[in-house]
Amino acid sequence: MKYSELHTPLRTIMTPGPVEVDPRVLRAMSTPILGQFDPAFTHIMNEVMEMLRQLFQTNNRWAFPVDGTSRSGNEAVLCSIIEPGDCVLVPIFGRFGHLFVEICERYGADVHTMECSWGEVFEPEEVIAEIKKVSPKIVALVHGETSTGCMQPLKEIGQACRELDVLLVVDAVASIGGTDIKVDEWCIDAIIGGTQKCLSVPSGMAPITYNDRIEKILSERKKVERGIATAEDLRQVRKGIPIKSNYFDLSMLQDYWGPRRLNHHTEATSMLYALREGLRLVLEEGLEERFERHVFHEAALVAGLEAMGLTLFGNRKHKLTCVTCIEIPSGIDGESVRSMLLNQFGIEIASSFGPLQGKIWRIGTMGYSCRKENVLFVLGALEAVLLRHGFEVKRGEALQAALDVYMAEVKEPVKEE
Ligand SMILES: Cc1ncc(COP(=O)(O)O)c(C=O)c1O
């Protein structure tokens, strides 16, 4: 046989995604396939919807995954609500704001942008002032910007959007499952999560949720495919322009995930099993506990990196807990460090994009990869590799600083007599 059995090297993945997948998720993926209308399968679909509502902290009726990588969720939401000429405001603070612009333009939106330097986020008032100036139909905003390791505060912007009758669409691909996101409380109209990051499920699905303000637009643009439409469906005249994409038409996806179970695509069975198990793991751990775990390991990682003599990149006040960006010291070849980490230690960390290409490294502490042994391993290995590259590391300090965090005694509250 020309091709050997599939054998991949074992890696410690400390990038901002894809990250290591929990073994329970991998096991769930080998569960036998069910037909997509088998009640045993539609029951699983309903369970996933229920668990997604808990993850997104919402009472929205609609919460389901779009089949495709995370950007498929961004595209499904935007193409389903943008009609040509609609004004969309996109505040950009990294690569994925640009992705929003790209998608909106392709669907004929009149896109307004505002940009701050990478490594910063917007003051909510700045965004609110811009909303008042351009009166958009939609604001599309990234929550956790993976390219810069920054997190945009959303609550005030959400409230302002609701008061001004503007729709708020949020990309929480990097942050969902790793940090607190209160969809209803923060007045987010539609939000997209990612599987391959803090949920620790493989890439290939984009969980989304949206409220009745979005659903109203969908119902005005609703279409049923001719080959499966009833006479009643064909008689319906809608006032909105039909959604340009068939695959990403949320009005059709809704009919598939809803009680009508109207066939759209063939559901990605094994991925749904994976997502179900990933969500079960999140809920078992508890949202608060999971967010605290991400903060705890971030603290150990940051302590170690700084003790080593490295400088973090970006505004610390708005740091994304699950992504830590580090300035590549001058004179050090960042790519050579990354490849030595991979080749000698089997550890993967990431570089960045655009203006930050070659300037920073990014270390992810996401989901199943966010563990003590991974943090200690990456710190030890990075120290060794930097020494080999001639960087003046403060020898031995990194692991001691991280261990200080890990071994700090939990102080018992002093009892009052
Ligand atoms: C914040 C953010 N949005 C969108 C995407 C696109 O996701 P995907 O590559 O899964 O399509 C990514 C991927 O890294 C991301 O980090």
pLDDT digits (tens, 9 = 90+) for 160-172: 999 999 999 999 9
- pLDDT band of residue 337 (cuts 50, 70, 90) is very high
Q: Would you say residue 321 has pLDDT above 70?
A: yes
Of 147, 154, 191, 150, which Cα lies nearest the Cα of 169?
191
Q: Which atom of ligand 1 is nearest to the CA of 203?
A: 10
Distance from Cα 238 to the centre of ligand 1, integer Å: 33
Residues in the chain, how many? 417
Which of 71, 92, 191 to mutate to test ligand 1, by most ligand atoms within 8 A of the CB atom? 71
Domain count for the chain: 2
Same structural domain, 46 and 114:
yes
Reduce the DSSP state of residue 319 to 3 states and report it: strand
Which of 145, 173, 192 to mutate to test ligand 1, by most ligand atoms within 8 A of the CB atom? 173
How is residue 361 annotated by DSSP?
Answer: E
- Residue-level pLDDT at 163: 98
Predicted model pTM: 0.96
Distance from Cα 140 to the centre of ligand 1, integer Å: 14
Distance from Cα 174 to the centre of ligand 1, integer Å: 7
Ligand 1 binding site (Cβ under 6 Å of any ligand atom): 17, 69-71, 96, 99, 142, 144, 146, 171, 173-174, 194, 203
Domain boundary among 241, 260, 282: 282
CATH number at residue 351: 3.90.1150.10
**Residues 6+ away with beta carbon under 8 Å from 352:** 147, 148, 325, 359, 360, 361, 362
Does 379 fall in a domain?
Answer: yes
Distance from Cα 15 to the centre of ligand 1, integer Å: 13
- Residue-level pLDDT at 237: 86
Does 15 fall in a domain?
Answer: no
> Position 249: which residue type?
D
Same structural domain, 80 and 133:
yes
What are the tens digits of pLDDT across the range 1-21? Answer: 899 999 999 999 999 999 999
Q: In the chain, what percentage of residues exceed pLDDT 90?
A: 95
| Integer angstrom CA distances of residue 311 from 314, 316, 359 | 10, 11, 12
Q: Identify the domain containing residue 310 by its residue range.
A: 287-407
Same structural domain, 62 and 114:
yes
Q: What is the DSSP string of 118-152?
A: BTB---HHHHHHHHHHH--SEEEEESEETTTTEE-
Between strands 347-348 and 360-364, the pairing is unpaired
Distance from Cα 403 to the centre of ligand 1, integer Å: 32
- Contact by Cβ (8 Å): 238, 223: yes
CATH number at residue 32: 3.40.640.10
Q: In the chain, what percentage of residues exceed pLDDT 70?
A: 98
